[in-house]
Structure 1
């Protein structure tokens, strides 16, 4: 998984994370990409996102909260 700030390209985290590990970020704009989208549970602004297919690349875009 890689999490980056799109405006700057700054990478906040990249690599494999442990099962049950929780990551939180303060930035309001993020791009999240996972090689296996089905291996993640993603929550954006406290709202659980729909599950992605197992074994497929997945992306999430976090934009400023309205």
Structure 2
């Protein structure tokens, strides 16, 4: 439903910054900075140009969870 109403950037902001604000975690989980708690995923492509990348987990080429690399296909 979101894809029909929002641009890919709006959906990403809602999933990151907006949810962090709602949970009172701004600056802790919505940023890539030393000491932050956020996880990071690098995609094989640009999800702002092709949001369908998210629908296939094989498009995730690097996954960092809690500061540890758990998948690295680079």
TM-score (norm 1): 0.29
User: Would you tell me which structure has more strand in proportion to its own residues?
Assistant: 1
User: Would you tell me which structure has more helix in proportion to its own residues?
Assistant: 2
State which structure, 1 or 2, has the greater radius of gyration over its C-alpha atoms.
2
Which structure has more relative contact order (CA 8 Å, sep 6+)? It is 1
